[in-house]
Amino acid sequence: MSTGFSPYQLPDDYADIRAAARGVCDAGVAPHAAEADETATFPEKSYAALRSADLHAPHIPAEYGGAGIDALGTAIVIEEVARACASSSLIPAVNKLGSLPVILDGSEELKQRYLPPVAAGDAMFSYCLSEPEAGSDAASMTTRAVREGDEWVLNGVKRWITNAGVSEYYTVFAVTEPGKGAKGISAFVVEKGDAGVSFGKPEKKLGIKGSPTAEVYFDSVRLPAGRLIGEEGQGFSLAMRTLDHTRVTIAAQALGIAQGALDAATAYAAEREQFGKPIAVFQGVQFLLADAAMKISAARELTYAAAARSERGDADLTYFGAAAKCFASDAAMQITTDMVQVLGGYGYTRDFPVERMMRDAKITQIYEGTNQVQRIVIARELQRGNAF
């Protein structure tokens, strides 16, 4: 019996979000993507375009001056930005990553102080979890915060911090009770202008070159007690809850990169002629394009399903977030490699965007938890009965 409703058809509101984001990105982001990659500089013009359309931090709730776009809509925005420029997609993605701990557990005072500037585009928010000796094993961090009266004194270093030096605000995780492992870690908001905060040289990276990545140093940084996010000792739990939600954004980023590569290769194959015919008519090329399209379709369905669970806070979000991130990023790496193959020698040059997309895709298999870690997470959730 038909009810006249298809559960697999997105409401028109999301189509409108996609159309608006694509229009902004085609006009104001894509033209600057190659330059950001070549010069390894933050794409200020792309940021301005996103900010003008309220797409730089679309997840910020309306009560704090944001667009109030839900998790699925935000994933679609990130997907569309990544289709044009992966580096620029880290603007909305990392704004969400950095500010989500405040949204989830922050006091009203913290929300009122830090969310409106991000919503207005006057500041960005980064996330400081990893350290030189604490990557996948984040609980082994050594950055310390010691309570002194009404202040916390923060010392340590964080590595692989996206948009370091560009962002005004940083969510920083630090040990507040040594010897308790993950239960001795707390979270704080640190401002770029706080005395004792400094930054290392930007890393020289394979891809996402337009998004600066650097170490952040904390030398006796004094933080008011109110900068604590949530409860003392709950920081690691908050970090993991945050990643459950934001792995969806990395899945969306990977999805967008893959879609951009397929779009470019499909257009090229229709125009490039060999043996008197467009190469799009040859089966070898058709199979590469068809496989890419299938994987993108599957990744999109999984990513959107995970985004919906993120919005609802479903019990199986951990599984779906890890599965979406892992599947979409593996697919993006394979697809971008294959799309370089479609373009042949031209695909290996910087005259075409697919080689940049291939380099950009690789990081999606690594950050916010390597795909090996994602598979561990997925297996554990299966064993706990939290999948599906």
Predicted pLDDT of residue 7: 61
> 65, exposed or middle or buried, with CB in 10 Å at 0-12, 13-18, 19+?
middle
Assigned CATH for 236-384: 1.20.140.10
Predicted pLDDT of residue 9: 82
For 266-323, the DSSP string reads HHHHHH-EETTEEGGGSHHHHHHHHHHHHHHHHHHHHHHHHHHHHHHT-TTHHHHHHH
Predicted pLDDT of residue 388: 73
| Phi–psi pair at 153, nearest 5 degrees | -110, 120
Predicted pLDDT of residue 2: 46
Annotated active-site residue in 79, 80, 131, 368: 368
> 335, exposed or middle or buried, with CB in 10 Å at 0-12, 13-18, 19+?
buried
Going residue by residue through the chain, which has 388 residues, state the pLDDT in tens, using 9 for 90 and above. Answer: 444 545 668 899 999 999 999 999 999 999 999 999 999 999 999 999 999 999 999 999 999 999 999 999 999 999 999 999 999 999 999 999 999 999 999 999 999 999 999 999 999 999 999 999 999 999 999 999 999 999 999 999 999 999 999 999 999 999 999 999 999 999 999 999 999 999 999 999 999 999 999 999 999 999 999 999 999 999 999 999 999 999 999 999 999 999 999 999 999 999 999 999 999 999 999 999 999 999 999 999 999 999 999 999 999 999 999 999 999 999 999 999 999 999 999 999 999 999 999 999 999 999 999 999 999 999 999 999 998 7
Give the domain 125-233 fold. Butyryl-CoA Dehydrogenase, subunit A; domain 2 (2.40.110)
The tens digit of pLDDT for each residue in 317-341 reads 999 999 999 999 999 999 999 999 9
pTM of the predicted protein model? 0.96
Q: Where are the domains of the chain?
A: 12-120, 125-233, 236-384
> Is 109 an active-site residue?
no
Beta strands 125-128; 169-175: pairing state: parallel
Predicted pLDDT of residue 3: 47
Correct CATH for 12-120 of 1.10.3470.10, 1.10.540.10, 2.60.40.3500, 2.40.30.10: 1.10.540.10
List, in sequence order, every beta strand (DSSP E) within the chain. Answer: 125-128, 144-148, 151-162, 169-175, 185-191, 197-199, 213-224, 228-229, 273-274, 277-278
β partners of residue 134:
131
CA 331 to chain centre: 16
